[in-house]
A and B are shown apart, each in its own frame.
Chain A
Amino acid sequence: MRQNYAFLDENSKKEIRRKTLKAISIPGYQVPFASRELPIARGWGTGGLQLTLSLIGQADILKVIDQGSDESVNAVNIRRLIQDTTGVTDTIHTDEATLIQSRHRIPEVPLKPYQILVLQVPLPEPLRPVEPSERITKQLHADKEYSGAWLRLFEQIMRYGSITDDADYPVLVGGRYVMAPSPIPRFDNPKLEGNDGLILLGAGREKKIYAVPPYTTVTSLAFLDHPFEVESFDDVTCRESGLTGVYMDELIDETTGETYYMTNDTSYMIEEMNKEGSVK
């Protein structure tokens, strides 16, 4: 069957772009939109994909990553759909891309002014763990009533001695809205702030679009005496590249049974290794 350019019909794309503009105008606020079904399953990145499909033009250069990798099966699958319906050029080099769709990571290379990063979101409501009802969480956002989100962290400290929220750690955007940053590791939370590029977040199944525009303040929720902590890779070096200070995958050597670490953002690792005078 013949397909539309970028799959969706033009009216749908227009609606998504209008909602995206609204999201950019109100940083961190979840804008409801009439999410469409895509040829990829709900929960597999359809929110991010709808953003990408509604934004992508023929001159765009596309990068798709999942779990930090361009070659992860889900990234490949999404890239294939976008390319099959648009024919745009793709790249693995973060700097070359104009449009980057990612699941679970923000690339190690900082965003450039000409770039849009699209993050896939499974659960956009940061207050959902404390309040199941949508109409109530909507009211709580309107009232800037975020005690519930803080209380959750407080209760964790009481129970376990430290905050136990792992990925998808809530942030306060522009001093106004508490936002779920999508399941990126805490390691990536600081990268949400003060970017040169635009970050868009799309939740297809939950039908929400939200945004972190360039140069927005983004702070992770924490207490004065229990500061926000990222995952620690302090004493760890990438076995492949010798890199440090990046998010790592923990792996097990099949022959020796030993734990070792490797840079999670694979394209960054390859670029670093190909540089003159690289560590390794």
Chain B
Amino acid sequence: MGYVAVKGGTKAIQASVRMYKDKQHAKGFEIEVAHIKANMNQLINQIMSEASLYDRDLAALSILQAEGNMEEAVFLLRAHRSTLPRLYYSTVTNTRDMFVERRVSASFKDIPGGQILGASPDFTHRLLDDDQSFTGMHDEAVEASYTYSLDALPKVIDYLEQEGLFTKKPEDDNEPDDITKQTIEFPSSRSERLQSLTRGQTGAVTSLGYAEIRGYGYSSHPNIGEVRVGQQPMHIDPYDTGDAYYIGDIELTEVEAFMPADEDEMDDTGSTEKTFKIGYGLTFGQNETKAIAMSVLDYSLEHPVGNAATSDDEFVLLHIDSVESTGFISHLKLPHYVTFQSVLDRVRQTKGGDGQ
């Protein structure tokens, strides 16, 4: 009899999982987690950022287990994250204390502390290299010397502020919302937006940021005040004594994008002045494109324009999460026999049948 499709599900699943595992790694070519951790830094950065879990070892493990599939790797880490209690919040950290490894400004040629190109693929030629000279180990390490201390570099934004071209917002000491403990309610707070954006799918954040500046929102070219990548010291203060403990460094990418905009206040004559406003991006690991796109979206959600989708916090925040979008799209392949039977009933009804 034909009717076996939903019977024997247990056996079918066991067999399917076994086939998948058998197929996973070709014999004789196995790699280890350590190899991935040592060689796939950029992938690890991207996965940690989307998973919002900073752990290079687990990220490397997730890549191996997911056969390099980004969405699966992120999914594995996110699921793991759900099993961990949140024990502490880190204390407020200031990126002025970052040990900077790379830092560029697109706005000023000469910035206090200088441009620091650091390690970046930006100026490599994208030619497939079958000699694999890209893995070449140099005998001599590249050395550079700096006049400033790398853990106390001034920020480009200070320069604008001194000139009166940027007005710092009053400090907001409200406790940030935590989107992993309380779901976002709309209209969203800025802390909710920044958290969603930083864990957003790299491709989704980039695409929406692109749409925003290409013509469906701000429609103008932001100026990158500063992109900096470096090691950020983190502390916790478990007993709330004001005596924080250093727990280690994490690698961060930070972006401050300058957007020319009107001053909020009008003067007596009703005219206004131009000023700069800031879009902010911050990600785990070196994720420069995503951090820049994040800064664009932070700006667009903070300063909505007309009916642009990129100004709509519900539209942006509810659709950029990798686990949510891939999960819902992929669920479409699950059985829907019961609901489809119901659809058939209605379609037949409109065709004048008896609903069967």
Contacts and interface: CB of A to CB of B under 8 A. Distances in A.
On whether A and B touch (CB less than 8 Å), the answer reads yes
A75 B10 CA distance: 9
A132 B327 CA distance: 20
A42 interface: yes
Interface string A1-44: 10110011111100100000000000000001111111101111
Contacts of B3: 240, 251, 262
B82 A76 contact: no
A245 B312 CA distance: 48
Interface string A163-176: 11111100000000
B350 interface: yes
A224 to B, nearest CB: 19
B160 interface: no
24 contacts: A3-B83, A9-B85, A32-B185, A37-B75, A41-B75, A41-B330, A42-B323, A42-B328, A46-B327, A66-B335, A68-B338, A69-B7, A71-B7, A72-B9, A73-B9, A73-B12, A122-B328, A132-B314, A135-B186, A135-B187, A166-B343, A166-B346, A168-B339, A264-B341
A120 B158 CA distance: 52
A71 B343 contact: no
B344 A250 contact: yes
Given A34-B183, A205-B327, A74 B334 contact: yes
B24 interface: no
Nearest to B188: A135
Contacts of B181: 15, 34
A8 B330 contact: no
Interface residues of B, number: 56
A43 B328 contact: yes
Contacts of A38: 79, 82
B355 interface: yes
A235 interface: yes
Nearest to A39: B79
B331 A44 contact: yes
Interface in B63-120: 75, 78-86
B263 to A, nearest CB: 29
B82 A236 contact: no
A133 B7 contact: no
A161 interface: yes
A34 B182 contact: yes
Interface in B155-195: 179-183, 185-187
A233 B337 contact: no
Interface of A: 1, 3-4, 7-12, 15, 32-39, 41-44, 46, 66-69, 71-77, 80, 104-105, 122, 132-135, 138, 160-168, 183-187, 205, 207, 229, 231-236, 240, 247-254, 262, 264, 266
B327 A207 contact: no
Contacts of B78: 37
B6 A43 contact: no
A268 to B, nearest CB: 14
B343 A76 contact: no
B83 A4 contact: yes
B349 interface: yes
Nearest to B325: A42
A143 B330 CA distance: 35
Which of B78, B83, B185, B314 is the most central at the interface, judged by chain A CB atoms within 10 Å of its CB?
B83
A15 B86 CA distance: 13
A155 B328 CA distance: 29
A49 B182 CA distance: 18
Interface in B178-223: 179-183, 185-187
Which of A43, A134, A160, A187 is the most central at the interface, judged by chain B CB atoms within 10 Å of its CB?
A43
Interface in B299-331: 312, 314, 318, 323-324, 326-331
Given A43-B330, A73-B9, A264-B338, 10 more contacts: A11-B86, A12-B82, A32-B185, A37-B82, A42-B326, A43-B331, A72-B6, A164-B347, A231-B342, A252-B2
A232 B79 contact: no
B8 interface: yes
Contacts of B187: 135
A33 B331 contact: no
Nearest to B335: A67
Contacts of A1: 80
Contacts of B342: 166-167, 185-187, 231
B241 interface: no
Contact of B350 (A44, A162, A250, A251): A162
A166 B10 CA distance: 30
Interface string B241-252: 000000000000
A34 B179 contact: yes
B306 to A, nearest CB: 15
Contact of A7 (B9, B83, B355, B356): B83
A33 B10 contact: no
Contacts of B86: 11
Contacts of A9: 82-85
B334 A69 contact: no
A195 B355 CA distance: 28
Given A166-B346, A207-B183, A71 B82 contact: no
B129 interface: no
B9 A167 contact: no
Nearest to A235: B356
B82 A8 contact: yes
Query: Nearest 9 CB-CB pairs, A to B?
Result: A42-B327, A43-B331, A43-B328, A37-B78, A41-B327, A36-B82, A167-B339, A166-B342, A71-B9
